[in-house]
Amino acid sequence: MIEKIAREIVRLFPRDGFSKDPFKILISTILSQRTRDENTELATARLFKKFPDLASLATARPEDLYDLIRPSGMYKQKALRIIQVVQKLLHEYDARVPDDLEELLKLPGVGRKTANIVLYHAFGKDALAVDTHVHRISNRLGFVKTSRPEQTEERLSKLIPKELWGPLNGSMVEFGKTICQPRRPKCHLCHFKEECKYFAEHHLRSLSDGKDS
């Protein structure tokens, strides 16, 4: 059942538009941390318009990035991380983004979600990126019962086939933005409410409340 639902989410909520450039994917994903997609897109476009690649960022200072990436939030922290990443790539990786999980995790500001997004979209590797959407939806549907994204990643990787790992992140992001929203999920529009643990619990609760009123 879990695999069937996962496949339907990928089919119904496709997400394209990712760059194939490993460096741009890496930097864009760093900018996406704790902000909305539209803010990430604006900050990414502004940054790469002025600094189109790693070489052009090599001599930049964090403060040169502040106004460009301000829409993404935490812009001072992110600017510092980006410059640190650039310098590390230059001096330790021959100006190339590594295609290995452990090496990616050595880069400043790069966690498992960011690393897995880079691995899948830039290098076509089987990688399961778990962000807040994937974590929330997986728990709501009853795929897992976890408290941290790292736990969700570990459990999901055993429950769904590798071919779904990569596309599931983007599809769950779209599903989470349009239907399974954080605060007010649109359960009445959801294709999976009959199998959903969250819907079952809240539907029964609302019926109970109705009887008591």
User: Would you name the residues annotated as active-site residues?
Assistant: 113, 131
Tokens of 107: 């880069």
Nearest in space to 128 (alpha carbons), one of 136, 120, 137:
120
Nearest in space to 40 (alpha carbons), one of 138, 173, 137:
173
Distances (CA, A) of 148 to 33, 54, 59, 135: 16, 33, 38, 8
Q: How many Å apart are CA 3 and CA 6, to the nearest integer?
A: 5
Sequence-separated (6 or more) residues with CB below 8 Å from residue 22: 96, 97, 99, 118, 122, 123
Q: How many Å apart are CA 48 and CA 195, to the nearest integer?
A: 43
Cβ count near 198 (within 10 Å): 19
Contact at 8 Å (CB) between 171 and 15?
Answer: yes
Phi, then psi, of 148 in degrees rounded to 5: -130, 145
